Amino acid sequence: MIVIHIVISGGGMVGSFLAAELHEKGHTVVVIEKDTIACDRLSAKVPVMVICGDACDYRYQEEARVDRADVFAAVTGDDDDNLVACQLAKTSFDVPRTVARVNNPKNERIFNLMGVDAISGTTIIGHLIEKETTLGEIITLQVMRQGRFAMVEVDLPESGCRCCGKAVQDLDLPRDCVLVAIIRGDETVIPSGTDSIQAGDSVIAVTSMESEDRLRKVLLG
């Protein structure tokens, strides 16, 4: 597993959960929280760096070394603060990926237009943060249906893997997962049941979040 540096804005219930989960998985985590009581509570519960301050303020993001972050996640209960903090991380510190909790679904489109991955739901946020850090095996291209489904890309190794040489119809795919394209060099194949998967292919699939791990096992072992 690749270890990444994650800065989280918000140390409430959502931020605390994410910090604990990501720290347990071996990532380095810094949390910025402006409420001193929440800071003390989080520091006592999770062994991560906690900065007491406003993540919408440049100096606190600088103190958290957002310039070194792989992901910046804003998960406070205020959509405006989350958007401002993400934009600051993107424009001032050139963070490659920003993820935000959206409390009002009407704001989701605005966040996406600003280049911020907008999600409602603690588990899905954590899921997205880790997507592009698992050795490139599976990449989330788009989240759909309020975070319940995702379009993903799986790059198969040139050396071959579990599914290579098999026809699509012979794969034990979950019922809520469908292969929509196979990219083979410059060729894109819309697969039928008899089409086979080859080493080095890139497979595009739509899957429920619950079945994504099973899809990875079916394709990669």
172 and 148 assigned to the same domain: yes
Tell me what the mean pLDDT of segment 10-25 comes to.
89
Q: Which residues pair with 184 in a beta bridge?
A: 187
Q: What is the pLDDT of residues 101-120, one digit of tens each?
A: 888 777 878 888 888 888 76
What element of type H or E holds 9? strand 5-9
* Residue 28 · residue 8 · CB < 8 Å: no
Mean pLDDT computed over every residue of the chain: 86
Q: How confident is the model at residue 121 (pLDDT cuts 50, 70, 90)?
A: low
Q: Are residues 114 and 79 in the same domain?
A: yes
- Write the DSSP assignment of 186-213 as a string of letters: TEEE---TTPBP-TT-EEEEEEEGGGHH
Does one domain contain both 18 and 121?
yes
| pLDDT exceeds cutoff 80 at 206 | yes
pLDDT of residue 159: 84
More confident residue, 2 or 1: 2
12 lies in the same domain as 62: yes
CATH of the domain at 101: 3.40.50.720
Query: Closest Cα to residue 201, out of 146, 210, 176, 171?
Result: 171
Q: Are residues 81 and 127 in the same domain?
A: yes
Lowest mean pLDDT among 41-50, 84-93, 112-121, 204-213: 112-121
Judge if 22 and 126 occupy the same domain: yes
The pLDDT score that the predictor gives to residue 136 is: 44
Q: Do 10 and 110 have their domain in common? A: yes
pLDDT tens-digit series, residues 155-203: 888 888 888 999 999 998 988 898 988 988 878 888 888 999 999 888 8
Cross-strand partners of 177: 207
Same domain, 60 and 107: yes
Confidence grade of residue 150 (pLDDT, cut at 50, 70, 90): confident
Which of 100, 131, 162 is the endpoint of a domain? 131
State the total domains in the chain: 2
Are 126 and 145 within one domain? no
Question: Residue 8: what pLDDT?
Answer: 97
Measured CA to CA, the distance from residue 214 to residue 24 in angstroms comes to: 22
Same domain? 145 vs 125: no
Same domain, 90 and 38: yes
What is the domain-level CATH number for residue 211?
3.30.70.1450
Let me know whether 113 and 17 are in one domain.
Answer: yes
Could you list the residue range(s) of the whole structural domain that residue 173 is in? Answer: 138-220
Burial of 179 (0-12, 13-18, 19+ CB in 10 A): buried
pLDDT at 87: 96
